[in-house]
Structure 1
């Protein structure tokens, strides 16, 4: 449940990345997208800890496999399956939409490896930015418009949330609380279970064994609330699984491949 992006040079969703320029894009507009077709085959989306409380009401929250795990909101139990959108990328029901999705097609990127400066960039293939008559202008009199400033502020807030998320993950690893996850789900009327692996989760046994002073620190700094949001959300895996069954998107295997 924790696949790396197929293109290691670009984050998921992004097919290309161009720095936003007041010269090259002076007459460009940004418009609302009718659908999020980039979500159709995306089963897991990165999540920040700032979003755990809201996201845990709708998605199972797991952690990716590997040495540098990140939180993920599961939108499907199998790779290539998203149970929250239709075949055109429209949301099937009102749910919390992760900030990673709402940020697209923009992001802050480091253009030079020798500099820590981040620049606002966008994916020119998204269909949301161009020389349109409709939408919000990105520049006015050669300066960033209010729309661009709002986008920049959102991206900055997202980066700051990402730093907090990274600190949370470091603390989880330091406390040795992560374990390889596994869930076994037998569909109604079925004889054999679907077994899902390839993700990480908090080890409840190790959590219960933590020293009192460590638990108190986690409660005071907010980590404990985030851990419980993650653990409580795991029960939603069965609901996501049920949606896959209902939509006919189940693979005909008794052991689902790790995703």
Structure 2
């Protein structure tokens, strides 16, 4: 169900990454856009727990498979399909855009594997940064501008949110609450659509969690996040319906 990055060595969206510095990029500028072309054809976007309250109003929230699952906002039921973004990158519906997508083409990254220090990097292939006539300068007199500082702060906050998300996922794994997910949508013509390859919270196991643990989760804000995920799954049919209305349905899988 999840869209994989084009280059497995780089995060989703990024085709290249270089560290920003005032010597090499003294004349670079950043500019805004009303078209998120990097979202075209991407059906799932990484999500932080801080975004669950906003995201659950628009998207199903699911978790990746594997040993180190992460939350995803599901923007299409099949790989290569985003029902909220047109082919030119225009958002066709006012929806919450995950911070992971809003930070592009910037991100914090380690320059050396043996260092914990993170540096502000950019994807130089993006048309949102470079030596333009228009736009806001990234540096002035070898110092980062307000635009660069703001983006650095945004990326720092994203990393902090990522740590909180990791703690949330560890808690789910600790109590063995994740299970392999399966969604079956019957369109009424005898040709069901089956979706697998993701994880979701097991409601049966959730009901068996001890009361003292639930009280702790309620106090530290984890319990509302769990229910935001569970309630968001009701939107699966909405995403499916949008995809069908847009004529982007794959061939259904026949079951016997």
What TM-score results when the alignment is normalised by the length of structure 2?
A: 0.97
User: What displacement does 1:8 show?
Assistant: 2.5
- What is the alpha-carbon distance in structure 2 between the residues aligned to residue 100 and residue 160 of structure 1? 13
Q: Which residue number in structure 1 is paired with residue 218 of structure 2?
A: 219
| 2:212 equivalent to 1:210 | no
Contact map agreement 1:3 1:64 (CA 8 A) in 2: no
In the other structure, the counterpart of 1:83 is 83
Distance 1:255 1:22, change over 3 A: farther
Moved more, 247-256 or 209-218: 247-256
The corresponding residue for 1:140 is: 140
**Does the Cα contact within 8 Å between 1:196 and 1:255 map onto a contact in 2?**
no
Structure 2's unaligned 5+ residue stretches are none
2:16 counterpart of 1:27? no
Once the two structures are superposed, residues 180-236 of structure 1 have per-residue CA deviations (whole angstroms, 9 ceiling, x without a partner) of 00111112x422210111100000000001111111111111111000000000010
Aligned to 1:247: 246
Q: Tell me the secondary structure at the aligned position of residue 199 of structure 2.
A: strand
- Aligned residue for 1:89, secondary structure, equals coil
Cross-structure match for 2:66: 66
Question: Residue 94 of structure 2 aligns with which residue?
Answer: 94
Aligned mates of 2:60, 2:139 — CA distance in 1: 39
Q: In 2, are the aligned partners of 1:108 and 1:120 still within 8 Å (CA)?
A: yes
CA apart distance, 1:4 = 4.3
Taking the aligned partners of 2:97 and 2:60, their CA distance within structure 1 comes to 13
Aligned to 2:53: 53
Native 8 Å contact 2:70 2:169 kept in 1 = yes
CA contact (8 A) 2:64 2:71 kept: yes
Partner of residue 185, structure 1: 185
Q: Per the alignment, in what secondary structure is the counterpart of residue 32 of structure 2?
A: coil
Change (3 A) 1:18 1:52: same
Tell me the alpha carbon deviations over residues 118-163 of structure 1, each in whole angstroms, 9 at most, x when there is no partner: 1000001110001111111100111000000000000000000000
CA shift for structure 1 position 89: 1.1
Tell me how large the CA RMSD over aligned residues is. Answer: 1.2
- TM-aligned CA deviation for residue 113 of structure 1: 1.2
**Which residue of structure 2 lines up, in the alignment, with residue 124 of structure 1?**
124
User: Given that residues 194 and 253 in structure 2 are in contact (C-alpha distance below 8 angstroms), is that contact kept between their aligned partners in structure 1?
Assistant: yes
Contact 2:2 2:79 in 1 (8 A): no
SS of the residue 2:92 aligns to: coil
Structure 1 counterpart SS, 2:38: helix
